[in-house]
Amino acid sequence: MYMGKDNIKIVASNRRARHEYFIEDTIEAGLVLKGTEVKSIRQGRINVRESYATIENGEAYIYNMHISPYEQGNIHNVDPTRRRKLLLHKREIRRLHAAIAQKGYTLVPLSVYIKNGLVKLELATAKGKKLYDRRQEIAKRDAERRMQQHLSEKYR
Protein backbone atom coordinates (compact mmCIF):
# COMPACT_ATOMS: atom_id res chain seq x y z
CA MET A 1 0.00 0.00 0.00
CA TYR A 2 1.58 3.27 -1.15
CA MET A 3 0.70 6.47 0.69
CA GLY A 4 1.26 10.18 0.11
CA LYS A 5 3.68 12.07 -2.05
CA ASP A 6 6.81 10.73 -0.30
CA ASN A 7 6.36 7.34 -1.99
CA ILE A 8 5.84 5.37 1.22
CA LYS A 9 4.98 1.66 1.17
CA ILE A 10 3.88 0.26 4.54
CA VAL A 11 5.35 -3.24 4.87
CA ALA A 12 4.32 -4.18 8.42
CA SER A 13 2.32 -2.55 11.17
CA ASN A 14 1.83 -3.29 14.85
CA ARG A 15 -1.90 -2.74 15.35
CA ARG A 16 -1.79 -4.36 18.78
CA ALA A 17 0.50 -1.58 20.04
CA ARG A 18 -2.23 1.06 19.70
CA HIS A 19 -4.60 -1.24 21.59
CA GLU A 20 -2.23 -2.08 24.46
CA TYR A 21 -0.43 1.27 24.91
CA PHE A 22 -1.13 4.99 25.19
CA ILE A 23 1.02 6.43 22.38
CA GLU A 24 2.77 9.59 23.59
CA ASP A 25 5.20 10.50 20.81
CA THR A 26 6.43 8.97 17.53
CA ILE A 27 9.73 9.22 15.73
CA GLU A 28 11.10 7.89 12.44
CA ALA A 29 14.27 5.79 12.61
CA GLY A 30 16.41 4.05 10.05
CA LEU A 31 17.54 0.43 10.44
CA VAL A 32 20.95 -1.17 9.99
CA LEU A 33 20.20 -4.25 7.86
CA LYS A 34 22.00 -6.84 5.78
CA GLY A 35 21.27 -7.14 2.05
CA THR A 36 19.17 -10.28 2.25
CA GLU A 37 17.09 -8.72 5.04
CA VAL A 38 16.19 -5.79 2.80
CA LYS A 39 15.12 -8.16 0.04
CA SER A 40 12.97 -10.10 2.49
CA ILE A 41 11.38 -6.89 3.82
CA ARG A 42 10.54 -5.80 0.28
CA GLN A 43 8.61 -9.10 -0.03
CA GLY A 44 6.72 -8.23 3.16
CA ARG A 45 8.22 -11.06 5.22
CA ILE A 46 8.60 -9.11 8.48
CA ASN A 47 6.82 -9.20 11.83
CA VAL A 48 7.07 -6.42 14.44
CA ARG A 49 4.31 -7.59 16.79
CA GLU A 50 6.52 -8.91 19.63
CA SER A 51 9.40 -6.47 19.15
CA TYR A 52 10.60 -3.70 21.45
CA ALA A 53 13.40 -1.14 21.47
CA THR A 54 15.96 -0.18 24.11
CA ILE A 55 18.79 2.28 24.49
CA GLU A 56 22.17 0.84 25.46
CA ASN A 57 25.43 2.81 25.71
CA GLY A 58 23.98 5.79 23.86
CA GLU A 59 22.71 3.70 20.94
CA ALA A 60 19.19 2.47 20.14
CA TYR A 61 18.50 -1.18 19.31
CA ILE A 62 15.40 -3.16 18.39
CA TYR A 63 14.90 -6.71 19.62
CA ASN A 64 12.66 -9.61 18.46
CA MET A 65 11.80 -8.04 15.11
CA HIS A 66 11.42 -11.14 12.94
CA ILE A 67 12.64 -10.86 9.35
CA SER A 68 12.23 -14.21 7.59
CA PRO A 69 15.33 -15.46 5.76
CA TYR A 70 15.42 -14.60 2.06
CA GLU A 71 14.52 -17.71 0.07
CA GLN A 72 17.10 -17.15 -2.67
CA GLY A 73 19.71 -16.24 -0.06
CA ASN A 74 22.57 -18.52 0.85
CA ILE A 75 25.24 -18.18 3.53
CA HIS A 76 24.47 -14.46 3.76
CA ASN A 77 21.16 -15.06 5.58
CA VAL A 78 21.36 -14.00 9.22
CA ASP A 79 19.46 -14.83 12.42
CA PRO A 80 15.82 -13.75 11.88
CA THR A 81 15.39 -12.22 15.36
CA ARG A 82 18.85 -10.72 15.91
CA ARG A 83 19.12 -7.30 17.52
CA ARG A 84 19.32 -4.50 14.99
CA LYS A 85 20.71 -1.02 15.45
CA LEU A 86 18.42 1.97 14.92
CA LEU A 87 19.75 5.04 13.17
CA LEU A 88 18.87 8.17 15.15
CA HIS A 89 20.52 11.49 15.94
CA LYS A 90 22.15 11.84 19.37
CA ARG A 91 19.61 14.41 20.52
CA GLU A 92 16.78 12.04 19.53
CA ILE A 93 18.39 9.19 21.46
CA ARG A 94 18.81 11.42 24.53
CA ARG A 95 15.17 12.51 24.31
CA LEU A 96 13.97 8.88 24.01
CA HIS A 97 16.23 7.81 26.89
CA ALA A 98 14.77 10.54 29.11
CA ALA A 99 11.24 9.49 28.13
CA ILE A 100 11.69 5.78 28.92
CA ALA A 101 13.49 6.58 32.18
CA GLN A 102 10.06 7.54 33.53
CA LYS A 103 8.17 4.71 35.18
CA GLY A 104 5.86 2.74 32.89
CA TYR A 105 7.18 4.08 29.56
CA THR A 106 8.66 1.92 26.82
CA LEU A 107 9.72 2.13 23.16
CA VAL A 108 7.30 0.31 20.86
CA PRO A 109 7.63 -0.07 17.07
CA LEU A 110 4.42 0.92 15.30
CA SER A 111 5.24 0.20 11.66
CA VAL A 112 7.97 -0.62 9.17
CA TYR A 113 7.80 1.04 5.77
CA ILE A 114 9.87 1.77 2.70
CA LYS A 115 10.28 5.49 2.09
CA ASN A 116 12.06 6.58 -1.08
CA GLY A 117 13.85 3.22 -1.28
CA LEU A 118 14.99 3.16 2.38
CA VAL A 119 13.59 0.95 5.14
CA LYS A 120 12.27 3.06 8.02
CA LEU A 121 10.72 2.24 11.39
CA GLU A 122 8.08 4.31 13.18
CA LEU A 123 8.99 4.15 16.87
CA ALA A 124 6.75 5.39 19.70
CA THR A 125 7.23 6.21 23.34
CA ALA A 126 4.26 4.57 24.98
CA LYS A 127 2.76 3.85 28.37
CA GLY A 128 1.06 0.50 28.99
CA LYS A 129 -2.70 0.44 29.37
CA LYS A 130 -4.32 -1.31 32.29
CA LEU A 131 -7.12 -3.81 31.70
CA TYR A 132 -9.79 -1.33 32.80
CA ASP A 133 -8.44 1.28 30.35
CA ARG A 134 -8.92 -1.20 27.50
CA ARG A 135 -12.43 -2.02 28.68
CA GLN A 136 -13.34 1.67 28.83
CA GLU A 137 -11.99 2.17 25.31
CA ILE A 138 -14.03 -0.76 23.96
CA ALA A 139 -17.19 0.49 25.73
CA LYS A 140 -16.68 3.99 24.29
CA ARG A 141 -16.20 2.60 20.78
CA ASP A 142 -19.35 0.47 21.09
CA ALA A 143 -21.38 3.45 22.34
CA GLU A 144 -20.23 5.58 19.38
CA ARG A 145 -21.06 2.78 16.96
CA ARG A 146 -24.57 2.43 18.44
CA MET A 147 -25.16 6.20 18.18
CA GLN A 148 -24.10 6.18 14.53
CA GLN A 149 -26.41 3.26 13.78
CA HIS A 150 -29.28 4.98 15.56
CA LEU A 151 -28.72 8.21 13.62
CA SER A 152 -28.49 6.38 10.29
CA GLU A 153 -31.77 4.52 11.03
CA LYS A 154 -33.49 7.73 12.06
CA TYR A 155 -32.68 9.60 8.84
CA ARG A 156 -33.51 6.86 6.33
Low-confidence ranges of the chain (pLDDT < 50): none
The pLDDT assigned to 139 comes to 87
The pLDDT assigned to 114 comes to 93
- Domains observed in the chain: 2-129 (2.40.280.10)
The pLDDT assigned to 23 comes to 92
The long-range contacts involving 89-98, CB below 8 angstroms and separated by at least 24 positions, are 90/58, 92/27, 92/29, 93/55, 93/58, 93/59, 93/60, 96/27, 96/55, 96/60, 96/123, 96/125, 97/55
Q: What is the mean pLDDT of the chain?
A: 87
The answer, as to whether pTM is greater than 0.95, is no
Spatial neighbors of 76 by CB under 8 A, at least 6 apart, are 34, 35, 36
> Sign of dihedral through CA atoms 118, 1, 76, 89?
positive
pLDDT in tens, 46-57: 999 999 999 999
